[in-house]
Amino acid sequence: MNRVLRYAAPARGLHWLTSLLVLGIVIPAGVWIKYFEPADEAFKLRLYNVHESVGVIVFVLVLLRLVYRWRNPPPPLPADTPAFVRLAAHAVHIALYALLLLMPIGGFLATNAWGFPLSVFGVLPLPSPVGKDEALAKVFSFLHWSGAIAIGALILGHIVGALYHQFVRRDGLIRRML
């Protein structure tokens, strides 16, 4: 087995915090809103605010992750990692970072276009860049939903890739992030 270099503690912490927020709050709240819309209007608005507010936090965390990654490049993959695996890993990481930035922006624009201002946890109001526009709201909402499907597929691919390294290649790569 190859010696595997680990990500630095701040990179690991940001990764797991982002994962926890996305998998534990943002996605479940988004699914609840989309497919199990609460009848209680006050609860529905709180659920939206939690989904949107945590989305803003994820956006900021991903920006921090990218700055940290730029200043502290990740450890290299094992030398014997096949080129197609390197390419797939690189593509999935780029797409995940892109969608983790674009999803909160798209959701924020959809919220604004539906005519709702966004206030992070009801404390920090964010400026509304677009006014109420139902046609635009439908476009942003569709893009946000499409992005949600894509990010779900990418997260699944990321997890499958980690399991592939752990159980097929047995290269210990999963330890880089633990």
Identify whether the C-beta of residue 173 lies closer than 8 Å to the C-beta of residue 166. yes
The highest-level CATH class for domain 9-177 is: mainly alpha
Q: What is the pLDDT of residue 15?
A: 97
pLDDT digits (tens, 9 = 90+) for 54-68: 999 999 999 999 999
Secondary structure letter of residue 22 according to DSSP: I
In 3D space, the residue among 57, 65, 80 whose CA is nearest the CA of residue 12 turns out to be 65
The residue extents of the domains of the chain are 9-177
pLDDT digits (tens, 9 = 90+) for 101-157: 999 999 999 999 999 999 999 999 999 999 999 999 999 999 999 999 999 999 999
**Is the pLDDT score of 1 beyond 70?**
no
Region label for 132, one of left (φ > 0), alpha (ψ between -120 and 50) or beta (otherwise): beta
pLDDT digits (tens, 9 = 90+) for 19-78: 999 999 999 999 999 999 899 999 999 999 999 999 999 999 999 999 999 999 999 888
Mean pLDDT of the chain: 94
Lowest mean pLDDT among 54-58, 77-81, 94-98: 77-81
> What is the full DSSP assignment across 39-102?
S-HHHHHHHHHHHHHHHHHHHHHHHHHHHHHHHSPPPPPPTT--HHHHHHHHHHHHHHHHHHHH
**Over residues 76-87, mean pLDDT:** 90
CA distance 47 to 33: 7
Tokens 């939903």: give the residue: 145
Q: What is the pLDDT of residue 4?
A: 65
In 3D space, the residue among 76, 92, 95, 65 whose CA is nearest the CA of residue 176 turns out to be 76
- pTM of the predicted model, to two decimals? 0.92
Q: What is the pLDDT of residue 3?
A: 62
